[in-house]
Amino acid sequence: MSEVRLQVRNITKHFGINRALNNVSFDINKGEVHALIGENGSGKSTMTNMLTGIYPMESGTFTLDGEDIHPKNQVDANNRGVSIIVQELGTLSGLTVAENIFLGHEERFITYGFRNTPAMNAEANRLLKEYGFDFIKADDLVDNYNFEERKLIEIVKATYFNPKIVVIDETTTALSQEGREELYKHMNRIREQGNTVIFISHDLPEILAKSDTITILRDGEYIDTVKSKDVTEDDLKKLMVGREVTGDYYRSDYGEKVSDEVVLSVKNVTVPGLISNVSFDLHKGEILGFGGLSESGMHEIGKAIFGASFDREGSVVLADGTQINDIPTAISHSIAYTSKDRDNESVVLNQSIRDNIAMPSLDELSNNAGILNWGKIKKFAVDYAKEMSVKMVNTDQFVSELSGGNKQKVVLARWIGKGSDIVVLDSPTRGIDIKVKQDIYQLMDRMRKQGKSIIMISEELMELIGMCDRIIIMKDGALKGELPRSRELNENSLISMMV
Amino acid sequence: MSDTLGNKDQNNNKKDLEQKKLRRMRMIRSLLPIVGLVLVFFLFNFLTDGKMMHKLPLAMSQVYVIMIASMGVFFIMTMGGLDFSQGSILGLSAIVVCSLSQYSVPLAIIGGILTGAAIGAINGYFYVNRKIKSFIVTICTMFLFRGLIKYLTTEALVAGSFELIELDSTALKVGCTAAVVAVGFVFFCFTKFGTYLKAIGAGEKAAKFSGIRTDRIKFLVYVLSGAITGFAAFILSIKNGSVTSSGGNQLETQILIALVLGGMPISGGAMARFGNFIVGSLLFVVLNSGLNMIGFSIPMMQLIEGIVFLIFVAIFADRKAIHVIK
């Protein structure tokens, strides 16, 4: 039995009225990758954010190598040997790579109050080289690097001082396959040095493949700690949801013929710097997938179809010849779009569920003189929120109070209410738990059978393979290749086209 | 298993209770301005031995202009913008109203509205098309048009025609104010534009992705707000009969104070209520005339109003959304 590194004891935390963690206790050992899993809102991130000083602690103790720690902030946590790589961008714009790496720890380069910048840059360059990231230069602004490269910088920042515990919080959802591989490599290295990785992810196959031990949380309660080699994906699902997950996860049919009827044609679409000369057709009742690295331009495809791209060239034409050049035209011609950036582009956070659901349909919910019928609006919102089984108090509740999965349900309820026939879903299940994921897949399958056409843009290769009639792979802003639906498809066949 | 479920129920009950508490807090917050209005009114009546009640019509004569003009700014603030050029819009429009009243009163009204709309369009153009923050744009236009007002009134004040001054009656002023507010009420609460304005204030990008033509609406709201203040200039002109270089001076601050006193969230969004500017302008005028009647000097009045303003901002500012002021 290996030695205990961190004892988590009786940790409880409230956010205003919500209890995020309730009396959670478990142990984390030295030299292991310890995964923390649970549905959204189960308290995983809350736990690690307290451990790394991002949130203040409330009650309970963290005992690291026999010593109680109460990190006041991230720098304090670093000094105690705990660091974190966060889900979203964790580097600060406007600072150089070296300044980011040594943020909060500049004192080692300071003499008589002056910072020795050349020494700091040299040290940063040495570290970058050691990690194999030679192409990143210490004195460049981080702004010169893309999302993936900035994540690599964060890996250096979080691990160069050999911390005892490194928390990796859902970092992989935002990374391409290539970036993930890089991250796995460093997770292994940390483990081999006898240190500990706390790994948070929604991707169960990834969890099973990369971690040694798995702790499951549900609704802020500790459920169990298991060895990865002793469990299957289904066991984990059951533990996370608290009951058997039944039915098909993805759609199960193969070899169904897709209609020849074209509902939307994209012709020679170019968005400067993002996508170039993209052309394809979308058929009735088809689920068309787009895969690629996150920088491949695939996310811009959705915006281009929805008329939301800046400076777009080329044309997006419906079957009846209508050109789609702006969002209102797209919506009035039955096109729906859910963005990858859910909180900024899909829902208005500080507005009621009712207004969010009804917003695109207000014209249909008012009389000829343009006077709104509030009774109808309320019924509309309640009906579609119920159809999507949004977990809420009532439709007056603000969307900001909902979990990620329920926010996505509100967005989908809006477009189902609008009756859109062409639905563009960008990363529809990003950061969403299994139960809601399954709901979304089933909804997509129903919509397909109703003759609606869906474009699914996703970084999760498994869901593309599981759901799509055709998968288009993108690379460097251009279409790289197309794969038809088949049982034989696997992640490797997609990855080989992506990189 | 059943045990954890029981636990969950308990949690949910607790959650419901807390939610109710939260909602009660929200209600108290929304009632505060009305309670404040009633309290301040009785307080001043008491302090002035009922003098205030007697002078009510006089006090109310200040309300019309502020209430009408603050409705336009209410729309702007709901969508997360600000407007500091209201005083200059009022002054310049009043000059146009008085000058044109020499020819015909209807022409004067139209002229005033168009002048206000034109300045609103300038604000809107620089804000929307040139993408400059609204408070910077409107501070610029405030100075620009204040300069123009001073230039136009250097020789002599601009006087309105006899017909214009003859119109001055409480019935007309009350009627006009009520009509403007009623139209605004229907516009804001019973057409999609109210929902759109709130959505833009709460999250412009998401509003755009829901199919709202955000740029067009933002521009039009500035034009609308200018036009409304242009109409308020007509009321001001029949009341005063002439315009001096200080015409409309400080209206923008008065409006801002009135809106905040009325419970308007500074950053706009879904918490904006149509009653905010009505209660707010009444509260502002009662406070102002009350302090005046008690016998405070103007500097002292400003000091007290400043403190009240600060307290209300502290209560109503949504700190999470404050950075979105455009």
* Pick from A221, A327, A347: CB nearest B211: A327
Same domain, A190 and A277: no
Nearest-angstrom CA–CA distance, A238 and A240: 5
Mutation choice for A interface testing from B210, B214, B325 by most A CBs within 10 A = B210
Nearest-angstrom CA–CA distance, A314 and A305: 11
pLDDT tens, chain B, 326 aa long: 344 444 445 555 656 666 677 677 777 777 888 888 888 888 888 888 877 777 777 778 889 999 999 999 999 999 999 999 999 999 999 999 999 999 999 999 999 999 999 999 999 999 999 999 999 999 999 999 999 999 999 888 899 999 998 998 889 999 999 999 999 999 999 999 999 999 999 999 999 999 999 999 999 999 999 999 999 999 999 999 999 988 888 899 999 999 988 988 888 888 899 999 999 999 999 888 888 888 888 889 889 888 888 887 787 666 555 444 45
Interchain pair A371, B211: CB under 8 A: no
- As for how many domains chain A has, the answer is 2
Same domain, A360 and A458: yes
State the ipTM, two decimals. Answer: 0.85
Interchain pair A18, B15: CB under 8 A: yes
Nearest CA to A301 out of A427, A141, A142 is that of A427
Q: Over the stretch B4-24, which tens digit does the pLDDT of each residue have? A: 444 445 555 656 666 677 677
Q: Is the Cβ of A405 closer than 8 Å to some Cβ of chain B?
A: no
Q: Which domain holds residue A299?
A: 262-498
Nearest CA to B268 out of B256, B279, B278 is that of B256
Same domain, A69 and A109: yes
Work out whether strand A4-15 and strand A59-64 pair parallel, antiparallel, or are unpaired: antiparallel
Nearest-angstrom CA–CA distance, B108 and B164: 9
For residue A68, what are the CA distances in angstroms to A195, A196, A288, A441?
18, 17, 53, 45
Same domain, A154 and A236: yes
Residue in the block written with tokens 């008085």? B98
Interchain pair B210, A360: CB under 8 A: yes
Which tokens go with B167? 């119109």
What pLDDT score was predicted for residue A356?
96
pLDDT > 90 in chain A, percent? 61
Mutation choice for B interface testing from A350, A359, A366, A397 by most B CBs within 10 A = A350
For residue B171, what are the CA distances in angstroms to A238, A499, B178?
73, 77, 10
Same domain, A227 and A285: no
Residues from chain A that touch B212, judged by Cβ atoms under 8 A, are 328, 359
Interchain pair B211, A360: CB under 8 A: yes
Where residue A292 falls (left for φ over 0; alpha for ψ -120 to 50; beta otherwise) is left
Same domain, A217 and A272: no
Q: Is residue A12 part of a domain?
A: yes
Same domain, A161 and A267: no
Where residue A268 falls (left for φ over 0; alpha for ψ -120 to 50; beta otherwise) is left
Same domain, A208 and A278: no
Nearest-angstrom CA–CA distance, B302 and B310: 12
What pLDDT score was predicted for residue A180?
86
Below-50 pLDDT ranges, chain A: 1
Residue in the block written with tokens 């709460």? B202
CATH code: domain of residue A492 = 3.40.50.300
Nearest-angstrom CA–CA distance, A38 and A24: 13
Work out whether strand A213-218 and strand A221-227 pair parallel, antiparallel, or are unpaired: antiparallel
What pLDDT score was predicted for residue B4?
42
For residue A364, what are the CA distances in angstroms to A176, A340, A374?
41, 27, 12
Q: Is residue A251 part of a domain?
A: no
Q: Is residue A253 part of a domain?
A: no
Q: Is residue A418 part of a domain?
A: yes
The Cβ of residue B80 has, within 10 Å, a number of other Cβ atoms equal to: 25
Interchain pair B15, A17: CB under 8 A: yes
Same domain, A100 and A234: yes
The architecture (CATH level 2) of B61-324 comes to Orthogonal Bundle (1.10)
Same domain, A64 and A129: yes
Interchain pair A328, B21: CB under 8 A: no
Same domain, A369 and A303: yes
What pLDDT score was predicted for residue B109?
96
Give the containing element (helix H, strand E) for B283: helix B275-294
Nearest-angstrom CA–CA distance, B110 and B92: 14
Domain ranges for chain B: 61-324
User: If you measure CA to CA, which chain B residue comes closest to A347?
Assistant: B206
Confirm if A344 and B203 have CB atoms less than 8 A apart: yes
User: If you measure CA to CA, which chain A residue comes closest to B318?
Assistant: A350
Q: Is residue A309 part of a domain?
A: yes
Q: Is residue A145 part of a domain?
A: yes
Nearest-10 crossing angle of helices B251-261, B298-316: 50
Which tokens go with B209? 């992705």
Residue type, A15: F
Same domain, A39 and A80: yes
Q: Is residue A302 part of a domain?
A: yes
Interchain pair A372, B190: CB under 8 A: yes
Q: Is the Cβ of A241 closer than 8 Å to some Cβ of chain B?
A: no
Q: Is residue A339 part of a domain?
A: yes
How far A404 CA lies from chain B's nearest CA (Å)?
Answer: 16
